[in-house]
Amino acid sequence: MNDNDGDSTARMPAGLGAPLAKLSMPRLARGVVRPRLHGLLDDARQKAAVWIVAPGGAGKTTLAATYIAERELPFIWYQVDQDDADPATFFYYLGMAAKKVGTDREIFLPLLTPEYLHDIPGFARRYFRDFFAVVPAGTVLVLDNYQQLAGAGLLSELLRCAIGEMPAGNNMMVISRADPPPELARLRVIGALESIGWDDFQLRLDETEAIVSLSLKLEPAVIRRLHERSEGWAAGLILLIEQIKRKKDIDQVIGAVSPQSIFDFFASEFFDQLPESTRDFLLRTALLAHVTRRWRRR
């Protein structure tokens, strides 16, 4: 938002330039294709939108990326961040994405300028109608890291508008660590939104075997122990594998994964991304025996 003049139009970059990370599929290590989950996505894509929700390290992004590659689908990958709380920013970068994948080189999608601010949902409906008209048929719009905007009700309203204007054959995939917000509850009731969650993501034994085989050759009994130790959590399994590759002592690793490895993962994936006030609260209460329900920051 432009703090100098008080309107909601975003400060826009000068031009398209090189591909932006915000509009690029993340670079992933060699991922294991999970046919079971791909089948669930095939079924879920009968609806307009799929909400992919699970804790960090469950393999959400890898699932979406491998699925799109396996099915050879046209796609737009949009990395959500805190700047997207400003709807003008959100619409601007979607317009950039449409120009990169669209078949019409003269694509024009409007910016959210002040004259539209009195009716942003109306603007959104018209915008998404035009957006889906210019992107290739069957395009999947992926919104990654949606939890970055937890509580941003306006963006959830824009998603509701987008799903309402989505033509048959196109889909939206939202990747998040949080369940769909209340603003999208009606879409679930009418069958426009499907969810794939943690119960689906937990690794089965054959999937653990496939992941281990990418970098190690282990006996079936050892793989089963790794599977039980990681409890279906993909990131936990990767940490175990990396520990085995470094220490070479399988029994020691399976018996006690390095606490520092677990700490580093959660610090980078969760704690460092929390709002400052939340981090402050967690640090203040970490060593207390108990905490009352009332807490006020001094």
Q: What is the CATH number of the domain that holds 48?
A: 3.40.50.300
Residue 159 and residue 219 share a domain: no
pLDDT digits (tens, 9 = 90+) for 86-137: 999 999 999 999 988 876 556 789 999 999 999 999 999 999 999 999 999 9
**CA separation for the pair 168, 184 (Å, rounded):** 19
**CA separation for the pair 95, 22 (Å, rounded):** 13
Q: Give the pLDDT score at 6.
A: 39
Q: Is 6 within the bounds of a domain?
A: no
pLDDT digits (tens, 9 = 90+) for 230-265: 888 888 888 888 888 877 667 766 665 544 455 454
Please state the pTM of the whole predicted model: 0.77
Residue 188 and residue 141 share a domain: yes
Residue 190 and residue 49 share a domain: yes
Number of domains comprising the chain: 2
Residue 222 and residue 125 share a domain: no
Q: Is 229 within the bounds of a domain?
A: yes
Structural domain including 236 reads: 205-257
Q: Is 269 within the bounds of a domain?
A: no
Q: Give the pLDDT score at 89.
A: 93
Cβ atoms of 209 and 179 within 8 Å: the answer is no
Residue 212 and residue 142 share a domain: no
Q: How confident is the model at residue 34 (pLDDT cuts 50, 70, 90)?
A: very high
Listed in sequence order, the residues at least 6 apart from 43 whose beta carbon sits closer than 8 Å to its beta carbon are: 194
Is residue 43 exposed (0-12), middle (13-18) or buried (19+ Cβ within 10 Å)?
A: exposed
28 or 52: which leads in pLDDT: 52
Q: Is 84 within the bounds of a domain?
A: yes
pLDDT digits (tens, 9 = 90+) for 209-225: 999 998 888 899 989 98
Q: Is 8 within the bounds of a domain?
A: no
Average confidence (pLDDT) over 197-208:
94
